[in-house]
Structure 1
Amino acid sequence: MAEPEIKPTVAADITALQGVLDQTGLFPSEMLPEMLAPALAGEGEAFWLTCHMGGAAVGLCYTVPEAMAEGTWNMLALAVRPDLQGQRLGAKLVAAAEARLRQAGQRILIVDTSGTQDFDAARRFYLANGYEEEARIRDFWAPGDDKVTFRKAL
């Protein structure tokens, strides 16, 4: 198996990443070009990273600064093509985002997920990668669906 390569997302990655989104259901893939546009234009601080395997874009990570907070960032999206999940590609994407933030002198990275059973694997993933459950807002997403916030000091 080829070694994964994590790089800033470029326009040429969009089609393959839309396929990742279609396969994972993270969010509607037609939203991706508009969401990526500011980063591709070099506007703002938010950044996207893409995981490449054998030259193909197979995963993404999207991280933004938290408004009105000093050195706190939020990982809004993390996805890896389902046939490649379990190979630590998500962990490599997260580690690359953390390294970039650390190098820039940032302090904290947070991530929100659902408290439902469907998201057990996501919560285990963050715990296994050094995140701690920091907060839980009951019934946030919907009745019976808590918002679970994980935090990691950089």
Structure 2
Amino acid sequence: MKRKYYGAKGVASLDDRNLSLRFDLTRGENKWIRDITESVGVFNRDEINIAEELAIDNIEKGAAGSEYQFILCENGSDIIGYTCYGYTRGTKDSYDLFWIVVRGGLRDMGIGKKLIAETEKVILEQGGKKLYVETSSKKSYYNSRQFYLKRGYMEEAVFKDFYDDGDDKIVYRKNLK
């Protein structure tokens, strides 16, 4: 099925048959990560900068040397979504999902589902058994919270007023099988 979206090279067609996953970032793709993260419209400047910093760390150290692993979803040569995850040091088998982002305008097309499923699969292959996700309690994050709950994540903890007054940090956990 083809759908139109605005990509890096202008208006493009999203073709489900043309989606692919990739596990390595290459030099300069930190700008794609920044662009995709900005396109969502809910992340603040600091969050966008952090996403790009994690991508730079991965590019500079290589996937084997970085604590931040990426899975990219591409439509042809356009990166349209990504996850960033990593092993939680000091634990036996816990991982953190730092980011799952799908380009603005492409939500509800199955891209996030594809990315999270592959991320969970890779973590299992690496010996991970628990995946933790942190998110905000703000209304603009409602769909994200529902996304996790629909995929079997359980609310593990709430840190009141963590990000700001009235903006709690919610931690979800999923036991991977």
Q: Same fold (TM over 0.5)?
A: yes
Note closer, same or farther for the CA distance 1:30–1:49 as it changes in structure 2 (3 Å cut). Answer: closer
Partner of residue 43, structure 1 = 65
Partner of residue 110, structure 2 = 88
Q: Which runs of 5+ in 2 are unaligned?
A: 1-14
CA distance in 2, matches of 1:78, 1:119: 12
CA contact (8 A) 2:58 2:67 kept: no
Partner of residue 76, structure 1 = 98
Partner of residue 36, structure 2 = 20
TM-score calculated relative to the size of structure 2: 0.78
TM-score calculated relative to the size of structure 1: 0.88
Indicate the structure whose relative CO is greater, using CA pairs within 8 Å and at least 6 residues apart: 1
Partner of residue 5, structure 1 = 20
Q: Which moved more, 1:71-80 or 1:3-12?
A: 3-12
> What whole-Å deviation, never above 9, does each CA across 1:29-69 have from its counterpart, x for those lacking one?
65355233355253045311100112311111000111211
CA contact (8 A) 2:25 2:59 kept: no
Q: Percent identity?
A: 25
Q: How many residues align?
A: 154
Q: Which has the larger radius of gyration?
A: 2
> What whole-Å deviation, never above 9, does each CA across 1:77-111 have from its counterpart, x for those lacking one?
11110121111111111111100011122110010
Q: Which runs of 5+ in 1 are unaligned?
A: none
CA contact (8 A) 1:45 1:65 kept: yes
CA contact (8 A) 1:132 1:152 kept: yes
Note closer, same or farther for the CA distance 1:104–1:36 as it changes in structure 2 (3 Å cut). Answer: closer
Note closer, same or farther for the CA distance 1:36–1:153 as it changes in structure 2 (3 Å cut). Answer: same
